[in-house]
Amino acid sequence: MDSEPTLRLRIDESALAANWRLLDRMSGTAAAGAAVKADCYGLGASRCVPVLRDAGARDYFVAHWSEVPDVAAHVAPGSISVLHGPLTAGDAAFARASGVRPVLNSLPQVRRWLESGGGPCDVMIDTGMSRLGLSPDELGDESLSRLDVELLMSHLASADEDSPLNARQLALFRDAIQRLGARRHSLANSAGIALGPDYSFDVTRPGLALYGGVPRGEFDGLIRQVGFPQAAVIMLRRIRAGDTVGYNATFTAQRDIPAAVVSLGYADGFLRCRGTDAALQFGEKRLPLLGKISMDMVVVDCSEAPDLREGDWVDIPQHLPDAAAKSGLTQYEILTVTGQRFR
């Protein structure tokens, strides 16, 4: 017999599918893939990957090898690319056995892949991130001519800005295409899709925007919220004038306050940087936070919601652009720090 959860996360599957279809249309002649790393940015691969598959996505990108099984349970392994590439001979053997494509990011990874027997792979070129990827001056290495490259890719560093770096990276990527043969090419992430058709190539790799993020103004009013977290009220109490609330007694009540203790804390990704003016919602009623956020609980003022009861569900505001502006976190962080206790 299972106990009842006190945290839950509703996934709007229709919004997720609509976001993918929008990004696919905005990709022009390119096909939109899907970045499904980090458990679909915290929203759950088991829920999101089938929706993306049924909407039409055919290319999936994870970061870690450990993320492959959760995605491969729903799509063909040959449609999955592992961005971190084969660090060990074991990684290469796993890729060959499963049919997953490694993304080769360095000459040692290229040699490791070839020594394992080779086969279809992807290659990352560093055009300005100084992160993963072969540098342009390594493209003449003879080992690259022996690769069977399905997807040649790079990653935009400043696509969320109108930065001259975007055009420089585009020029470097076009040069790499001329120097290294591949069946398909990919440069644009979510924000890069909004830069226009020059950046689309054959495959785009949206991530944040799939899950409700708005990385550029071109997406305002078009991208729909996907994740809707809620937490349960676990206790009601009355705080008297002069009482303090929470760690370090940072809040002192100036009047009697009807309050609720809610099953939500920084272990669930609701971090203290949400701010002292943060609030939860009960319907249209605002429930301001009182005192510091604890690991597993927050205390809220429910003066505006006199009908709130123990066991009721309250909403955690999660419109990503607004939450980011108020907390100082990025939209990526708000999504991916979601704790494991949500059901």
**Radius of gyration from C-alpha coordinates of the chain:** 23
DSSP state of 132: S
Residue closest to 204 by CA, chosen among 25, 82, 12: 25
247 catalytic residue (yes or no): yes
285 catalytic residue (yes or no): no
User: How many CB atoms are located within 10 Å of the residue 5 CB?
Assistant: 14
Residue closest to 270 by CA, chosen among 302, 296, 291: 296
Crossing angle of the two packed helices 13-26 and 45-55, in degrees rounded to 10: 50
Phi, psi values for residue 288, rounded to 5°: -65, 145
Determine which one of 37, 266, 292, 332 is catalytic. 37
- Enumerate long-range contacts of 96-105, CB under 8 Å, 24 or more apart: 98/68, 98/72, 100/68, 100/72, 101/150, 101/151, 103/132, 103/153, 104/134, 104/147, 105/132, 105/133, 105/134
Tell whether the torsion through CA atoms of 266, 269, 272 and 278 is positive or negative.
negative
Active site residues: 37, 247
